[in-house]
């Protein structure tokens, strides 16, 4: 008998094992701490109290019955701490003897990998189980202690978590940085120059004035320099030619996959992991059964097996030629603290499965993510790209001053891995536009240049950007907060609790989120901080390796946490937020209507509750009148699955809906309603014309 977590995985594994095996799915955890109480005895070495929840009793009963008739029971749960803990809980719940149980681990669901795993079974690793158990108990101690404080002081249905609270703190503190930011003016000066007997020009940037860095902070400072530069003599003083090699990015780990899928595909971390799970567990790709398409997607290791590397090298030679194959297989350093090197990076189970071959069998999202993983992996095994670089220094001498200007450029000499894939740039980086200018090939040192024009440009320093999925995951990884399996859950939780909202791709804290953060950071500053959380992750890693006992780790934490909790319970001021008034009277009793929070978010109710039980839905208006009935306003709504759409406030009398967000700008052609088509374009609902958003915002719709 073989037990895995999901039915899809069971189907794929069962196909490869064949007759003589029964493969069943536990559908995740089968045992957990009781929901109705703390379920951790702080006076008895933090002994946990587990139970099989009602919804899993039928599953456990079936597994017990099947296990009685099985010669051996293989636990084939996922190859991480969570999977190890599920295996242990299964062993305990199904009540099989330890000597009857065998643990098998595979990082890809292919026939070869499964046969290999079953021939090298082992016992359940209790060090890994203890590490996961310690994490679960720590989270329960924090959550079940702090959440009641938030219910009392803020509002019901809130929660606090050991890791989610640190992520919320990062977002709130970034928002405050933005609010406190004061923009500073600065200028740059470009000179457009033309060599003698040349038609083409190039631009060089002013970098020195009389050997010093110029401070160009006002127009008054810039004007005399421009006047002086008009009279200067421009000469090429130095030409430096060189070569730059650009290595490919490492194959994906969990965090980099989530970041790149966010930047390139617009996927949330949660969606990325859900799709990756489907690709890992197996899909029917036309060979008569399910096939695992990628390796395990929760990993922090960049390792690649020798067999996979050899397959990739053969594929590169056959399809791109020997020039694109590095002399030795590349080795990538894992940046993540305490990475589990026994794992592999995320890669296709076979590089010969080209994305185009699988496209007919995958939905759009599956294809996009598989293609991204395939391209990144293949590129990581290819030769570096080679650039010819050129750096120019131009001296500009006037009667009064000597100036230095620079221009640099590069040209791809050999594309290498770029023929397959190029990593997208970080959304929060502002590339220097003058970094890669076109430079005429005929330039020579000592050659005089003709000044065509001077280009002064005013700039203002920008505040730090709000976090996106990509940048927040990157920050969590860099601080050592959480582990690969937790990133998506962290981001989902702080949204589900109403602590943050996503506008576009950016996270913005809500009033509730700010209040919760301020309470937690004031009373639990030693716990809700990045250093403490990262140190706790290191302690859990040491439990996983057998260097520490899980009870000692939990006890040390609780000795810090308990006095802070007692102090907060005693001293926390009356900070309960007043219910926000809507500005209308209850139509049934005349009392003020107020905004409350329920299981599904905001709603409006009577302030005289429970005597008056009048309620109405909360409508999030976006400042646009309905184009259909013209009397209603467009409001943001959500489907049962949480997808945002836009409809009329007069529903059901008016049936207008749109998946795309309407804007208050009228169509330049027909004055109809424009909706946001993508981050650069808007489209008219009436005449279907499209326009560049930046043109409309600049007031020049005709330019679009």
Active-site residue list:
296
617: left (phi over 0), alpha (psi -120 to 50) or beta: beta
Handedness of CA 102, 103, 109, 115 (dihedral sign): negative
| CA 30 to the chain's CA centroid | 29
Residue 74 near residue 119 (C-beta atoms within 8 A): no
State how far the Cα of 573 lies from the Cα of 518, in Å rounded to an integer: 12
- Work out the angle at residue 379's Cα, subtended by the Cα atoms of residues 373 and 380, and round it to the nearest 5 degrees: 90
SS3 581: strand
Residue showing tokens 């070495």: 45
The interaxial angle of helices 511-523 and 550-571, nearest 10 deg, is: 110
Q: Which residues pair with 387 in a beta bridge?
A: 244, 412
49 token code pair: 């109290």
Which spans in 545-642 are helix H? 550-571
CA nearest to 426, candidates 379, 488, 486, 472:
472
> How many angstroms separate the most distant Cα atoms in the chain?
99
How many C-beta atoms lie closer than 10 Å to residue 405's C-beta?
Answer: 24
Strands 402-414 and 32-33: unpaired
Tell me which H or E stretch contains 692.
Answer: strand 690-692
First to last CA, the chain: 65
State how far the Cα of 172 lies from the Cα of 166, in Å rounded to an integer: 10
């Amino acid at each position: 008998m073989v037990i895995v977590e999901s039915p899809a995985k069971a189907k794929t594994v069962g196909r490869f094992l064949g007759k003589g095996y029964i493969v069943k799915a536990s559908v995740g955890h089968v045992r957990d701490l009781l929901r109705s109480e703390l379920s951790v005895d702080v006076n008895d070495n933090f002994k946990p109290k587990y139970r099989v929840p009602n919804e899993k009793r039928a599953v456990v009963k079936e597994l017990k019955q099947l296990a009685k008739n099985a010669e051996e029971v293989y636990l084939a749960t996922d190859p991480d701490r969570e999977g190890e803990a599920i295996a242990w809980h299964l062993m305990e719940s199904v009540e099989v003897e330890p000597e009857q149980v065998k643990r098998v681990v595979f990082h890809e669901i292919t026939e070869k990998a499964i046969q290999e795993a079953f021939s090298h079974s082992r016992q359940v690793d209790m060090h890994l189980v203890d590490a996961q158990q310690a994490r679960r108990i720590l989270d329960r101690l924090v959550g079940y202690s702090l959440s009641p404080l938030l219910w009392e002081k803020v509002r019901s249905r809130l929660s606090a978590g050991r890791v989610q609270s640190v992520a919320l703190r990062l977002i709130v503190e970034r928002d405050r940085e933005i609010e406190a930011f004061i923009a500073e003016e600065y200028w740059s000066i470009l000179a457009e120059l033309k060599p003698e007997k040349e038609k083409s020009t190039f631009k060089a940037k002013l970098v020195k004035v009389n050997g010093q860095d110029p401070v160009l902070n006002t127009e008054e400072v810039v004007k005399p320099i421009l006047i002086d530069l008009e009279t200067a003599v421009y000469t090429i003083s130095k030409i430096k030619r060189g070569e730059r090699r650009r290595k490919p990015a490492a194959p994906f780990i969990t965090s980099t996959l989530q970041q790149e899928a966010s930047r390139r595909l617009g996927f949330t971390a949660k969606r990325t992991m859900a799709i990756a799970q489907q690709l890992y567990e197996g899909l029917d790709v036309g060979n008569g059964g399910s096939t695992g398409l990628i390796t395990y997607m929760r990993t922090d290791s960049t390792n690649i097996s020798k067999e996979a590397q050899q397959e990739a090298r053969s594929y590169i030679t056959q399809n791109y030629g020997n020039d694109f194959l590095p002399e030795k297989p590349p080795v990538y350093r894992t940046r993540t603290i305490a990475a589990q090197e026994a794992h592999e990076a995320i890669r296709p189970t076979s590089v010969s499965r080209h994305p185009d071959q699988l496209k007919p069998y995958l939905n759009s999202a599956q294809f996009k993510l598989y293609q991204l993983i395939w391209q990144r992996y293949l590129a990581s095994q290819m030769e570096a790209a080679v650039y010819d670089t050129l750096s120019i220094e131009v001296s500009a001498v006037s009667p009064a001053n000597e100036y230095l200007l620079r221009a640099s450029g590069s040209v791809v000499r050999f594309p290498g891995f770029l023929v397959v894939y190029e990593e997208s740039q970080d959304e929060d980086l502002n590339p220097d536009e003058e970094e890669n200018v076109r430079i005429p090939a005929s330039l020579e040192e000592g050659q005089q240049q003709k000044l065509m024009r001077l280009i002064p440009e005013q700039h203002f320093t920008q505040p730090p950007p709000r976090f996106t999925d990509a940048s927040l995951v990157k920050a969590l990884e860099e601080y050592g907060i959480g582990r690969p399996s937790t990133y998506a859950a962290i981001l989902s939780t702080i949204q589900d609790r109403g602590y943050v909202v996503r506008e576009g791709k950016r996270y913005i804290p809500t009033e509730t989120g700010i209040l919760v953060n301020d309470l937690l950071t004031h009373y639990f500053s030693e716990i809700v901080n990045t250093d403490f959380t990262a140190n706790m992750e290191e302690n859990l890693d040491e439990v996983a390796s057998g260097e520490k006992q899980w009870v000692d780790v939990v006890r040390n934490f609780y000795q810090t946490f308990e006095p802070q909790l007692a102090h907060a319970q005693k001293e926390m001021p009356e900070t309960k937020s007043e219910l926000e008034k809507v500005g209308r009277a209850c139509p049934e009793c005349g009392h003020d209507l107020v905004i409350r929070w329920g299981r599904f978010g905001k709603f409006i109710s009577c302030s005289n509750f429970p005597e008056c039980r009048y309620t109405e839905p909360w409508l999030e208006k976006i400042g646009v009148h309905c184009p259909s009935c013209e009397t209603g306003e467009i409001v943001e709504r959500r489907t049962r699955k949480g997808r945002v759409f836009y409809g009329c406030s007069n529903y059901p009398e008016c049936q207008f809906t749109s998946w795309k967000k309407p804007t208050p700008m009228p169509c330049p052609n027909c004055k109809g309603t424009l909706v946001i088509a993508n981050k650069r374009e808007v489209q008219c609902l009436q005449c279907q014309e499209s326009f560049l958003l930046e043109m409309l915002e600049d007031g020049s719709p005709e330019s679009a």
